[in-house]
Chains A and B, each alone.
Chain A
Amino acid sequence: MIAACPECENKIDLPDTTRLSEVVECSDCRSELEVVSTDPALLVIAPEAEEDWGE
């Protein structure tokens, strides 16, 4: 699966095992990206960690 980085338009090759809500990093701009669709593959900027995130 190929998806475009929404930040820098780099073409990112996602493995076929990629699932919704996974977070990947753009190899060009280092943005953290969330997978919001796998068919077609679609990435958005991942949410920033919030104060209440954790274990």
Chain B
Amino acid sequence: MSASIGLIASRLRLEEKRLLDAFAQRNVEVEVVDPRALRFGLTQTSLPWQVALNREISGTRARYGALSLEAAGVTTLNSAKASEICGDKWQTSVALREAGVPTPHAALALTPEAALDEIAEMGYPVVLKPLSSSWGKRVSLIRDADAAEAVLEHCAALPSPQAHLIYLQAYVEKPGRDIRVVVVGDQAVGAIYRSSKGWRTNVAKGATTTICDLHGDLADIAIGAARAVGADIAGVDLVEDTDGRLLVLEVNSGVEFAGLQRALGEGCDVPGKIADLVIERAGAVPAGALS
């Protein structure tokens, strides 16, 4: 059976280039699709791709692209549902809790005023995150009531109604690092520590990366987290608390793996694993193999 595969991306980062290399090494043709040119009719049922690998950098386009592709019968990785859950920190927390995946206490306040009461109940320090941000943007560590009032005033002044929903997460004392695990299919394929002098450990914020042993508990929890949100391909962020327990902070559906790949070297082939999964879902055979 042959199949056509689309790679949805408006920006070809290192990850997308490595993915295209991986497909080429497997002699499988992939069409790069710029979602900025995509449009979908309600009754559209035929698109040129059987499977789409959604690598769109815009969370909004990624979610609506996945939704529209699936509506037209295209199998999309990650699915629209997984993209929606991962794109919303509260939905992620709820999904993790329902699946029994260890995660810090979190709360959603429907107004900044209600958030003040919730913070007083949770105690300090507490972490305030925009519901749908990435790369550590506008994530705040709040250590006292003065800081809480100031940050919440800023949230209240933002024009988007969604910005007035306040997601709070209990701050976990961590050993200057967190852990990123990449999950592909049913397998945890690699893990790194992300270390930083500051409290935020996003690679996008300049954190350094080192190899992390992918031991059984870590792999199991990361795979459980990916399953909880329905993601076939996931970047799972975990933290170790002072008792050594692993807690899942969030799950990323559009995982950036360049930092992990650099730290782990060629022994861990993340783009190859992703390409293999997409090819398997597509039921594709290498170009020319049918002739």
Asked whether A11 is an interface residue with its Cβ less than 8 Å from the other chain, the reply is: no
Q: In the complex, A28→B111 CA distance in Å?
A: 47
Asked whether A16 is an interface residue with its Cβ less than 8 Å from the other chain, the reply is: no
Check A53 against B57 for contact (C-beta < 8 Å). yes
List, in ascending order, chain A residues with CB within 8 A of B254's CB: 54-55
A1-55 interface (Cβ within 8 A of B): 19-23, 34, 46, 50-55
Check A19 against B255 for contact (C-beta < 8 Å). no
List, in ascending order, chain A residues with CB within 8 A of B58's CB: 50, 52-53
Q: In the complex, A23→B10 CA distance in Å?
A: 10
Q: In the complex, A9→B253 CA distance in Å?
A: 38
List, in ascending order, chain B residues with CB within 8 A of A46's CB: 11
Check B11 against A21 for contact (C-beta < 8 Å). yes
Chain B interface (Cβ < 8 Å from any Cβ of A): 9-13, 17, 20, 32, 34, 57-60, 132-135, 137, 204, 235, 252-256
Show 16 A/B contacts (Cβ-Cβ < 8 Å), sorted by A: A19-B17, A20-B32, A21-B9, A21-B10, A22-B12, A23-B12, A46-B11, A51-B137, A52-B59, A53-B58, A53-B59, A54-B57, A54-B135, A54-B137, A55-B134, A55-B253
